[in-house]
Chain A
């Protein structure tokens, strides 16, 4: 019997090999090494399915594969942790990566881009680092792959490095996420210092130790006699810094809209499956730790709810297709954070899953439109594309309905569950309720901007010559769109909790059962366990669970339909006008992203002195010590080498003097002169 878990490293290494092949031999291969990437991700996808099937067969995997440093206090290791969560994530990541590779054939190769080996190498490394992050069994390994993901995003966003925009956007993405990762790194060190381990799962894992410490047994280190719970909150918030940076939550979301400078398939990969998903996945991965600290959870929920609303409002006024999608991504990840903070572990993973599919779909659809429009992204130049590109239209529509949360598309089920969890847990928690209200307010805004985008792009009269005669797209664009379009429609059915609760059917909440280790998993990593750890109690409105479910679903669906209806009225006409201009000053504020970019630049200039001081310290003190040591050797060497005069007589003199000195020493020691 061959064991699927033995092939877990291969899932990660296959895309890594495609990276090496594309980098080393891409120039000599057909299509710039694309087929290597497609084959590698396809292989990873099949292996992931096998791994997931093995988990469904009732087994799990938690092994240390390689110890790269061992000390007295702790060991630094690489390992693999396969449980229902990571198995699910593996399937999502590899599937999206595979489709993005195929789509790239149409978007990059057919469009005659140059530098393709570099592109496919980047995609391969990106996929490999994300997969490594997903299977990581400890926080340090997760951090290392987290950084690799950030590096790859830098390389790919800056792919068109000869134009002015992309390199600057890449730098911004790198710096902003690095700012968050700084806190993450401190958090990792704090976890090591506190628990002596960073393992995610098992008896001696840090969530288990933290649980024991809070229960009063076990002994953990805290700095300066700080209370255990306070310290755990601090550690949780530190790690959260990395999450906020990568998952583009307020206030570190500013890099994401600029990241649209990268090629569209890369945007799809970043937004759906890799970089941005990494933050939310990390919180889900160590949820056993976060569930212990109510303050952290409340902060997560509030940031999430606020980001959901905040980003959605900015999406309303954008003119470029990909910009709208960028803000929708920020907003949707806000929902996931809201769910995590509200104790809705399953809801967050559910939304992560559905969002991965419909957002990849929307980005690839946007890519298809961009090909057709000869790389013009301004929606005001589009219109009427519906008749010209039906496959793109209908799949894009499915994705939009899912994003807007319209019944029965995937997004409805997941978003509804997120809001439901926030509502039932938030009735007694003001901060959480605030998050819920903001999340709810974001629903109509989301529906509005989504359908503003759809109507402007596909409906009405064509508003430019390109839109009247768009360039056709090929199978390699339509194929991925069709797959993702179908998934955007049906993914919601894996977890129809409202239907189960209202109709009293049992067992159709497959995702709940999956994450609750019903088929297999690791003790202490089940949603049930997390619910027991969490601080929340449920409250219901209208006297019970069923009315709460119905009211919640009806309100969010009603709001979504209201937003859709407004967009329909305003923009589903032959030649729409810029209604957002009527907002006047508010529009300017929204269009300029609340001037947050300017604020960050302003802060950067104000803190120039701090940076200058740090630089002086680094150059003067740190480097000074190193340089000082070396200059002593240099100076000494300079002086001593002067004895090499080249005069043979002087050498002979020195030999003689040395001999005499030796004789004198021997003589004194031997007592000749006494």
Chain B
């Protein structure tokens, strides 16, 4: 059996890729995809620990997160559409009205 820390290392790697995407990209679609990556990194953790402890709760939780991610994408796409309609672009650095 693959030891648990490998899973954790994989999850941490995927999470960092997602984080890197959020921090460096300006495109809202990249944002969406990066957030998806970070969530799936969390899912890997859930499933890995579930396997490690022999407890199904983690896997059930992963299913919930997948459902949540689907909902999040629906809202995210909606936001991107509104963004495009109002600013003619989906660059997240353009709308800066909500500042001091």
Chain A residues within 8 Å of B, Cβ to Cβ: 641-642, 644-649, 652-653, 656
B binding-site residues for A, Cβ under 8 Å = 19, 22-23, 26, 92-93, 95-100
Tell me whether A649 and B19 are in contact (CB under 8 A): no
Shortest distance between the CB of A196 and any CB in chain B (Å):
55
Known: A649-B92, A649-B93. A644 touches B23 (CB 8 A): no
> Is B95 in contact with A649, judged by CB distance below 8 angstroms?
no
Does the CB pair B93–A652 fall under 8 Å?
A: no
Q: Are B92 and A644 in contact (CB under 8 A)?
A: no
A649 x B100 contact (CB < 8 A): no
Q: Which residue of A lies closest to B99 (CB)?
A: A646
B97–A653 touching, CB < 8 Å: no
A642 to B22, CA, bound (A): 22
**B95: A residues at CB distance < 8 A:** 646
In the assembly, what is the distance between CA of A647 and CA of B91, in Å? 10
Knowing that A645-B96, A652-B23 touch, tell me 8 more A-B residue pairs with CB under 8 angstroms: A644-B100, A645-B99, A646-B95, A649-B26, A649-B92, A652-B22, A653-B23, A656-B19
Across the interface, do B96 and A647 meet the contact criterion of CB distance under 8 Å? yes
Distance in Å from the Cβ of A657 to the closest Cβ of chain B?
A: 10
Sort A-B residue pairs by CB-CB distance and give the 7 closest, nearest first: A646-B99, A646-B96, A641-B100, A644-B100, A648-B92, A644-B99, A652-B22
Q: With contacts A642-B100, A646-B97 known, is A656 near B23, CB below 8 A?
A: yes
A-B contact pairs, 18 of them (CB 8 A): A641-B100, A644-B100, A645-B96, A645-B99, A645-B100, A646-B97, A646-B99, A647-B92, A647-B93, A648-B92, A648-B93, A649-B22, A649-B23, A649-B26, A652-B22, A652-B23, A656-B19, A656-B23
Residues on the B chain within 8 Å of A652, using CB: 22-23
In Å, the complex CA distance between A147 and B22 comes to 69
Residues of A within 8 A of B26 (CB): 649
In this complex, what residue of B is CB-closest to A643? B100
Chain B neighbourhood of A649, CB < 8 A: 22-23, 26, 92-93
Q: Return A114 CB to nearest CB of chain B, in Å.
A: 53
Q: Please indicate the chain B residues that have their CB under 8 angstroms from the CB of A646 in the complex.
A: 95-99
Output the nearest chain A residue to B31 by Cβ-Cβ distance.
A648
Please report the C-alpha to C-alpha distance between residue A648 and residue B100 in the assembled complex, in whole angstroms.
14
Distance, CA A647 to CA B97, complexed state (A): 9
CA distance A642 to B100 in the complex (A): 6
Q: What's the minimum C-beta distance from B23 to chain A, rounded to whole angstroms? A: 6
A442 to B96 alpha-carbon distance, docked (Å): 86
